[in-house]
Structures are given as C-alpha cells and as structure tokens.
C-alpha cells in the first residue's frame, strides 16, 4: 500500500510540474508559483520517504528494494540503499531540483515578475521531463507480484560505506543545482531582464552548485581511495570526467558572472556558459546512464533509457541555444578594457577553463568517435592523455590565479606588486622544499613546478595586502574577502597535494607469511596473524599488521571481505593517516596456507588534496550565503 | 554576421546530438551481431607467459570455457579479478585470458601479485583476435560451449550477479547432455 502512495505522489507531481512548466509560456497567467513549488517539493519528498520506508521495512515485493537490499543489511545501509542504484538516484535527483527551485523562489525579490515566472516555468519543465523519464523507464515503485522474493539481492558491497552514502546526494545536489543558472539564463533572454539583475540573481546559486559539486567530487575521490583498495585518488574514469567537466564549466561561470554583474560585459558568454554547464551535467548523466561508456561505476545499462535521456538533453540544450540564436533580448554592449585589466584576466581564466573542459570531454568521447568511424576498431584514452592535457593548463591557470586578486577593473595601474609576489613566492617555495627534504630525505625535480605554483597561489591569495604595520586592516581584508580567499587557498593546497603525491609516492607488492617481518621506507612491518571474522552480512579474512615507524608502534587491520548474498569480494584497506603522509596497506590474494600478498604504499600529502577541496567547498558556500544575506 | 555567430552554438550542439544518437543506435546493432552462436575465430598469437609459445584456436581445448578479455590498464578488470579467482577455485570451468593491448611485463606482474585465474592468457597486443571477436572494450567475457561455439557474451565486469543471470545456465545445460 505504502509504495502505491509513493507512486501516486510521483504521478501527481508529474501533473503539477507540467502545469507549472506550461503555465508561464502558454496560459500567460500569473500562477501561485510559491505554493506550487512548495507542493511539488512536498509530493516528491513524500514519494522519496515512502521509498525509504519500503527499504527500511524490507518490502521485497518492490522490485527495486529486492534488487538492492537484503534482510541482513545494517539499517543505516538500508536507508542509504534508497539511492544505491539508478531508480532511487533519479528520485533523489528530482528532489534536489525541487529543493533548488524552492530555495530560489523563497529568496527571490522580483516576485511574480515575468523573470521569476519564466525561471519557475523552465525549472518545472525540466523536473517534468525527469519525472516522465522516471515513471516510464525507471520506476522504483514497480512490484514483483504475486509472489515476492523472501530476501533481497543486496546492495553492492563496495557501496556499503559512509562516504558512499553521502557522496551521491551531495554530487546530485551539485549537478542539479546547475538547473538554476540555466533557467535564469533562459529567462533573462526571454524577459529582457537587465544584465546586472539576472547575473546577480544567478551568481549565488552558481556558487552554491559549485560548492556541492566540489564536495561531491572530493568525497567520491576519497571513497575510491580507501574503498577500492588501490590507493589511487583519481582515475580519469568516464564517470569521474562526467563530473569534472561540469565542475570546470561551473567554475568558469562563477568567474564570468562577476564580470557580467559588475561591468555589464561577457553577457552572451555568461548566458551560453550557463547553458553549457547544465548541458554538461545532462550529458554526464546521459553518458553514465546509457551505458555508452563502460566504467567502474556499475549502473544500469539500458539503450531505451539512453534514448530518453538524449531526448531530454536535446530538447533543453538545443531549445536554449535556439532561444539564444533567435530570441535573445538581453542588452549586449561592447566596451573596451585593456590587456592588463581584471576583465582580461577573467577572460583568460574562462578561455583556459573552457578549453580544458572541452579537451577532457573530447578525450572521454574520443574512443566512441574513433570506433564509430573506423568500423569498430578500438582505442582507449587513458590517464596519460588527460595528465598531458591538464598539466600546462594548470600551470597557466595557476600563474593567472596568483595575480588575479591584484588586478583592477578597466586597467591595472601599477604592476609593482609583482616584485613582492615573486620574492615571497620564492621564499615559500624554498621553505616547502626544505620541509619536503626534512620529511622524505630527497628532492624530486618533477614536483618543483607544482610546488612553485602552490607557493605562488598561497602568496597571491593569503599574503596579498599583508603587513605587520596595519595588521587590523589586513584582518578586515581577510574578513571581507573570506569566501574567495578560502577557495583560492584551497586550490593552492590541492595543487601541492597533487604535486607531492604524484612524485613522492612509493609502493611495494609482496607476499607475507604469518610472523614474517619486512622493512619498507624505514618502517618495520610485521604480519601478526590472519583471523576469520564474521560481520553482519559478510565474512572476512582480517590481517593484523604491526608497524614500527620511528619509535611509534601501531596496529593496522586490512581485510578481504566476502559478502554472502552476492558472493562479491571487497578489499578493506588499512590506512594510517597523517597530515604529511598516509601509510596504506591492502590485502591481495591468498597463496598457499597462510601466506597472502599485500600492497604497501606511502602516500605523502594526499590529505591535502581533500583538504583543498574542502576549502573550495567552504569558500564558495560562504560567498554564496553572503550574497544571499546581503540581498534579503 | 552576428546572427550567424549566434547560431554557431546551436549548430555545434546539434551535431553533437546527432553523433550521440548514432552511437546509441549503432552500439545496439554491434552488440547483438557479434559472434554469438558462431565458432571461435582462428588466430595465431603468442602466449602471455612465453612469447615463443604460439597459440591457436586448437589450444583452446578444455571446453566448455570462458574467454575473458583483460588488461592491466583496465580498472573494471581489477574489479572482476577476485570473482575470476573464485571461479578458478570453486568451479571446474576453464577460464582463458585474452590479454588485450597490454604490456607483457605489467600483465605478468599483476598475475603474480593478484593471482592467476587463467589456464593461460593469449597475448594480443595489436588486438587482432579481439577485433575478430568483436570486442567492444575490456573487460569482456565470452562463454564457449563444448563444441567450441560462442554462446554468450558479456561486456563489462563479470560479477556474481552477471554470472547467475547470463552464464550459469550453460553449465547446467552441459550437465544435462
């Protein structure tokens, strides 16, 4: 009965979103958009709750529950299994879009103007199309009747994990947040809202979407690091790229909107970028859900769903671009700015980010294109291509970001800051090298570039305006610009983390018998024993390992788990975390008797990558909240 | 001029949509028209373990068997590796590896460290046999029945679930005969 109620909620929200979507365009009527947005949200929320309920009470007559849960699954994971696969993810996605819409309407001060009505209409249409997609191709409320299974098939074991349970909701929230910039851009073109108005209305939401995308991607990377058992933090997997491309475009949009709002420039560019960012998030969904690209992210592969997604993509993206080509009523003036202005700096930033995004998208799609036009020949584009591409872009973007905050609108009067910037960055650079030498006893030239960029960024974002004499003034500056300073500092830490971990990492693979001792990077590592341990829904071989590291002794447990409903095997890595290095042990396969293979890795500075991502998340979040507060 | 420029994004994305559409429809044809119900194609390729040992169709002789396309650069292959090890330990079914566009040393290292689930691996650096098999990407798994006929194909990682749904039935069928 409960699942049917959820189903009815879903269908009611479908009808409501269609009315809301057509209202502003066809009836040309003033709709009670606040109430409608609230009602739509409540209906989808209700249906989400009923789905959670079906999971929690083990209602295996619901096909989706039977496929993704199990009686023995711990209650917390039953709850999280709701979004463990395609159908539930979609509901969550639609729910997020509703939350964004509701938030926009609540903060909107142009209430019931043509502008807000069209934003509401576009959002409702997108929500309608996703609801249609869900109900017709991916309905989570379908029943297995008359004889339901007694037990479910289980949630994919590698997804039974804390980071996983929060990674998808946050990422979806970020992805779906790009709906607002898109809707605002369409509405700006149709209603002819002034550029300052629509750009300032779009900026906080773009920042917020960026914040959620960053934390979602960061959590995904962290999860892959400790859960998959390889110690990697980024794989250039198509699904990762599908999130990275929208992120890059969103970052570009965050910057170009500043120019549109303050200088009435880059108008068409910001409009287009809003459409592109949304298109990239839809395209990502399409690539992942259609199964065109195979990857570690095991999702449902279904060509019918692919066609449906492609339909949604074409309708909104081509529709948006057609409006841009024929119905664009925003005011577009040209004015001059010099090559040393903030405008030009932000232009370069945008060009670099967008070209990088397109290159990564191209690398992701290229295997498909190659195959289609060579009659089925295969090619794989892997990490070397992406690393080769991203390196020069990061250097250029980094150099630019370091001076960004010193530039002024129109033209920058003096470049005297450069001497100070260069000298201070060089000192930080040398200090960092000394620190690395003290920590790891060696200097690796390959990392010098990234370490210099790190120093340049730290100086460019934190030490700007710094002086002991007017320290209070400096604190005031920090306070005023806290959002941008945090995100830019986050970028610096991330760059350092990537640079150090990719050149200072060490690993060794070996076979250990119980009681055997070895030495790895001045650490004594001893395999104490291997025990059989029974978990709630798995059995595990747990290796207990003692490590003696410069006077400190600690024990680590790494596991090979076999989850019994599915028989799937996962590796639980043992990680001794540290701000300067992680020590990472993962268990391989059994050889004979009690000897197992192990992989030992040292991952210096890897935490800085996620710390950086966290600062970017915080920074963009704070900026967004500050703008929203100022407005209301 | 301005007008044409404004049309550009629409044109570019229009082309993208057409290309994506062609992938979708093309992929379906391809996946259905592979060598299912045909015999394993002829080949002459070295063994991964020993470059001097040239293998051919007749080397694949412990039937029924699985042919698993794998490579060290393929992440999903690592995901399915533990399952292949389980198959090796639990079942009598032979698994042949087709090492696809890989580096011999890296591949051998991986098998040494993570265990070798394969009877032997065919070293297909240029992807010759893979093309004949219509391989779409690694990992991919084919079931060959005891007459040497390919009966089923799976693109993507081989898991317990896939095994149950697509492959297990063939073993029972074989026992019946």
Residues of B in contact with A380 (CB under 8 A): 73-74, 101, 137
Rounding to the nearest 10 degrees, give the CA dihedral for residues A599, A605, A611, A613.
Answer: -80
CB A265 within 8 A of CB A259: yes
Interchain contact, B137 vs A294, CB within 8 Å: yes
The phi, psi pair for A477, rounded to 5°, reads -60, -45
Determine the distance in angstroms separating the CA of A325 from the nearest CA of chain B, rounded to an integer.
5
Residues of A in contact with B109 (CB under 8 A): 509
Confidence of residue A98 (pLDDT cuts 50, 70, 90): very high
Distance CA A99, CA A546 (A): 49
Distance CA A382, CA A364 (A): 9
Helix H or strand E segment including B82: helix B75-90
Where in B15-148 does DSSP place strands (E)? Answer: 44-46, 54-56, 65-70, 94-100, 121-124, 140-144
Determine the distance in angstroms separating the CA of A31 from the nearest CA of chain B, rounded to an integer.
31
B interface mutation test: which of A371, A383, A561 has the most B CBs within 10 A? A371
82-111 of B, contacting A, C-beta below 8 A: 82-83, 85-86, 101, 109
Distance CA B20, CA A376 (A): 16
A interface mutation test: which of B75, B105, B118, B127 has the most A CBs within 10 A? B75
What is the model's pLDDT at position A146? 66
Interchain contact, A569 vs B76, CB within 8 Å: no
The phi, psi pair for A531, rounded to 5°, reads -115, 155
Mind listing the pLDDT tens digit for each residue in A287-332? 766 555 544 343 434 567 778 888 999 999 999 999 999 988 888 7
22-81 of B, contacting A, C-beta below 8 A: 22-24, 26-28, 30, 73-76, 78-79
User: Nearest residue on chain A to B126, judged by CA atoms?
Assistant: A378
What is the model's pLDDT at position A522? 85
User: If you average pLDDT over each of A20-29, A37-46, B90-99, B151-160, which comes out highest?
Assistant: A37-46
DSSP string, A159-199: G-SHHHHHHHHHHHHHHHHTHHHHHHHHHHHHH---HHHHH
Of A286, A296, A369, the CB nearest to B79: A296
Which of A327-331, A445-449, A563-567, A589-593 shows the lowest mean pLDDT across its residues?
A563-567
Distance CA B9, CA B32 (A): 35
User: What b/e readout covers A362-400, taking b as 16+ CB neighbours within 10 angstroms?
Assistant: ebbbebbeebbeeeeebeebeeebbeebbeebbebbbeb
Q: Which residue has the higher pLDDT, A351 or A158?
A: A351
Distance CA A198, CA A144 (A): 49
Residues of A in contact with B23 (CB under 8 A): 292, 368, 372
Of A153, A279, A509, the CB nearest to B113: A509
What pairing do the DSSP bridges indicate for beta strands A517-520 and A523-534? antiparallel
User: Nearest residue on chain A to B77, judged by CA atoms?
Assistant: A296
Distance CA A118, CA B79 (A): 47
Distance CA B28, CA A326 (A): 36
Q: Considering only CA atoms, give the Rg of chain A.
A: 26
DSSP string, A477-541: HHHHTHHHHHHHHHHHHHHHHHHHHHHH-EEEEEEE-TT-EEEETTEEEEEEEEEEEE-SSEEEE
Distance CA A521, CA A513 (A): 20
Mind listing the pLDDT tens digit for each residue in A587-613? 887 777 778 888 899 999 999 999 999
For residue B172, give the 3-state DSSP assignment: helix
Interchain contact, A382 vs B73, CB within 8 Å: yes
Interchain contact, A295 vs B76, CB within 8 Å: yes
pTM for this prediction: 0.81
Mind listing the pLDDT tens digit for each residue in A211-256? 999 999 999 899 888 877 677 888 888 788 889 999 999 999 999 9
What is the model's pLDDT at position B91? 79
- C-alpha closest to that of A396 among A484, A310, A457: A457
Residues of A in contact with B78 (CB under 8 A): 230
Predicted confidence (pLDDT) at residue A624 exceeds the cutoff of 90: yes
Residues of B in contact with A597 (CB under 8 A): 113-115
| Mean pLDDT, rounded, for A30-57 | 93
Distance CA A141, CA A138 (A): 9
B interface mutation test: which of A66, A154, A306, A592 has the most B CBs within 10 A? A306
Residues of A in contact with B3 (CB under 8 A): 325
Mind listing the pLDDT tens digit for each residue in B152-163? 888 778 888 888
What is the model's pLDDT at position A297? 40
Distance CA A408, CA B30 (A): 57
Of B10, B19, B85, the CB nearest to A321: B10
Distance CA A245, CA B153 (A): 33
User: In chain B, where are the structural domains located?
Assistant: 1-33, 36-176
Of A296, A372, A376, the CB nearest to B134: A376
Interchain contact, B131 vs A377, CB within 8 Å: yes
What is the model's pLDDT at position A373? 67
Interchain contact, A237 vs B75, CB within 8 Å: yes
Quote the crossing angle between the two packed helices A319-326 and A179-191, to the nearest 10°.
30
CB A165 within 8 A of CB A76: yes
User: In chain A, where are the structural domains located?
Assistant: 1-156, 161-405, 506-608
User: Nearest residue on chain B to A272, judged by CA atoms?
Assistant: B9
Determine the distance in angstroms separating the CA of B154 from the nearest CA of chain A, rounded to an integer.
12
Q: CB distance from B168 to chain A under 8 Å?
A: no
Of A296, A378, A509, the CB nearest to B127: A378
Confidence of residue A168 (pLDDT cuts 50, 70, 90): confident
Sign of CA dihedral A30, A34, A39, A44: positive
Please tell me what DSSP assigns to residue A83: G
- C-alpha closest to that of A494 among A582, A384, A617: A617
Give the residue ranges of DSSP H helices in A264-302: 267-290
Q: CB distance from B156 to chain A under 8 Å?
A: yes
B38: left (phi over 0), alpha (psi -120 to 50) or beta: beta
CB pairs under 8 A between A and B: 112
> In CATH, what number does B36-176 get?
3.40.30.10
Determine the distance in angstroms separating the CA of A353 from the nearest CA of chain B, rounded to an integer.
18
Distance CA A240, CA A249 (A): 15
User: Nearest residue on chain B to A294, judged by CA atoms?
Assistant: B156
Interchain contact, B155 vs A294, CB within 8 Å: yes
Mind listing the pLDDT tens digit for each residue in B93-141? 889 999 887 888 888 888 888 889 998 999 987 777 877 777 766 788 8
Residues of A in contact with B17 (CB under 8 A): 310, 313-314, 317-318
ipTM for the whole complex: 0.78
User: Nearest residue on chain B to A588, judged by CA atoms?
Assistant: B114
Residues of A in contact with B135 (CB under 8 A): 378
CB A624 within 8 A of CB A207: yes
Count how many Cα atoms sit within 13 Å of the Cα of residue A551 in the half-sphere of its side chain: 0
Of A286, A372, A589, the CB nearest to B26: A372
Residues of B in contact with A367 (CB under 8 A): 137
- C-alpha closest to that of A248 among A326, A331, A343, A361: A361
């Amino acid at each position: 009965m409960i699942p049917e109620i959820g189903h009815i909620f879903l269908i009611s929200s479908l009808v409501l979103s269609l009315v809301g979507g057509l209202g502003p365009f066809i009836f040309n009527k003033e709709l009670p958009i606040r109430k409608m947005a609230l009602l739509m949200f409540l209906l989808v929320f209700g249906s989400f709750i009923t789905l959670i309920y079906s999971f929690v009470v083990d209602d295996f007559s619901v096909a989706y529950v039977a496929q993704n849960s199990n009686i023995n699954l711990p209650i917390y994971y039953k709850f999280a299994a709701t979004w463990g696969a395609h159908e539930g993810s979609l509901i969550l996605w639609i729910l997020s879009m509703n939350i964004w819409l509701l938030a926009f309407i609540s903060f909107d001060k142009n209430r019931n103007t043509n502008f807000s009505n069209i934003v509401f209409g576009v959002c409702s249409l997108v929500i309608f199309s996703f609801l249609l997609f869900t109900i017709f191709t991916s309905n989570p409320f379908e029943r297995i009747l008359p004889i339901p299974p007694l037990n479910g098939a289980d949630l994919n074991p590698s997804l039974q994990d804390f980071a996983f349970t929060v990674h998808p909701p946050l990422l979806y929230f970020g992805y779906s947040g790009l709906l607002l910039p898109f809707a605002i851009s369409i509405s700006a073109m149709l209603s002819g809202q002034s550029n300052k108005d629509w750009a300032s209305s779009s900026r906080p939401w773009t920042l917020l979407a960026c914040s959620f995308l960053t934390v979602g991607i960061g959590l995904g990377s962290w999860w892959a690091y400790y859960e998959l058992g390889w110690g990697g933090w980024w794989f250039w997997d198509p699904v990762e790229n599908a999130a990275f491309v929208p992120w890059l475009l969103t970052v570009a949009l965050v910057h170009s909107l500043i120019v549109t709002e303050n200088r009435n420039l880059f108008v068409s560019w910001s409009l287009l970028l809003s459409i592109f960012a949304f298109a990239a998030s839809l395209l990502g969904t399409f690539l992942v859900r259609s199964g065109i690209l195979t990857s570690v992210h095991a999702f449902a592969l279904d060509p019918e769903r692919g066609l449906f997604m492609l339909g949604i993509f074409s309708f909104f993206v081509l529709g948006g671009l057609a409006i841009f080509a024929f119905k664009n009523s925003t005011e577009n003036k040209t004015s001059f700015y010099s090559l040393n202005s903030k405008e030009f700096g932000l232009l370069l930033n945008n060009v670099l980010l967008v070209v990088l995004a397109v290159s990564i998208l191209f690398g992701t799609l290229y295997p498909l294109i190659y195959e289609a036009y060579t009659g089925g020949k295969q090619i794989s584009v892997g990490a070397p291509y992406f690393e080769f591409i991203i390196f020069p872009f990061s250097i250029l973007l980094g150099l630019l970001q370091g001076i960004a905050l010193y530039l002024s609108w129109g033209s920058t009067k003096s470049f005297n800051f450069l001497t100070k910037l260069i000298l201070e960055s060089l000192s930080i650079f040398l200090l960092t090298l000394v620190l690395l030498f003290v920590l790891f006893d060696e200097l690796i030239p390959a990392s010098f570039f990234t370490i210099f960029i790190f120093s340049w960024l730290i100086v460019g974002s934190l030490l700007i305006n710094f002086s002991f004499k007017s320290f209070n003034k400096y604190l005031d500056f920090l306070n005023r610009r806290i959002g941008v300073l945090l995100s830019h500092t986050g970028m610096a830490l991330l760059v350092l983390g990537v640079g150090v971990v990719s050149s200072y990492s060490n690993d060794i693979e070996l076979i250990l018998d119980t009681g055997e001792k070895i030495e790895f990077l001045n650490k004594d590592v001893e395999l104490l024993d291997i025990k059989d341990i029974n978990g709630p829904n798995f059995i595990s071989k747990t290796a207990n390992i003692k490590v003696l590291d410069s006077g400190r002794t600690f024990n680590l447990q790494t596991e090979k788990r076999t989850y019994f409903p599915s028989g799937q095997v996962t590796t639980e890595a043992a990680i001794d975390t540290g701000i300067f290095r992680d020590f990472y042990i993962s268990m391989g396969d059994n050889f004979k008797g009690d000897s197992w293979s192990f992989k030992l890795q040292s991952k210096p500075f890897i935490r800085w990558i996620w710390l950086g991502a966290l600062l970017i998340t915080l920074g963009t979040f704070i900026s967004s909240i500050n703008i929203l507060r100022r407005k209301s | 001029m301005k007008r044409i420029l404004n049309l550009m994004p629409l044109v570019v994305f229009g082309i993208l949509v057409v290309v994506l559409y062609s992938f979708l429809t093309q992929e379906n044809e391809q996946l259905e028209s592979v060598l299912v119900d045909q015999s394993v194609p002829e080949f002459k390729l070295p063994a991964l373990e020993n470059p001097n040992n040239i293998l051919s169709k007749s080397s694949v002789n412990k039937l029924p068997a699985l042919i698993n396309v794998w490579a060290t650069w393929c992440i999903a292959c690592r995901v399915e590796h533990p399952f292949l090890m389980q198959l090796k330990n639990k079942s009598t079914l032979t698994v042949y590896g087709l090492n696809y566009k890989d580096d011999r040393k890296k591949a051998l290292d991986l098998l040494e460290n993570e265990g070798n689930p394969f009877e032997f691996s065919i070293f297909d650096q240029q992807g010759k046999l893979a093309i004949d098999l219509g391989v779409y990407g690694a990992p991919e798994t084919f079931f060959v029945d005891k007459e040497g006929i390919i009966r089923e194909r799976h693109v993507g990682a081989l898991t317990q679930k896939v095994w149950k749904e697509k492959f297990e039935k063939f073993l029972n069928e074989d026992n019946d005969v």
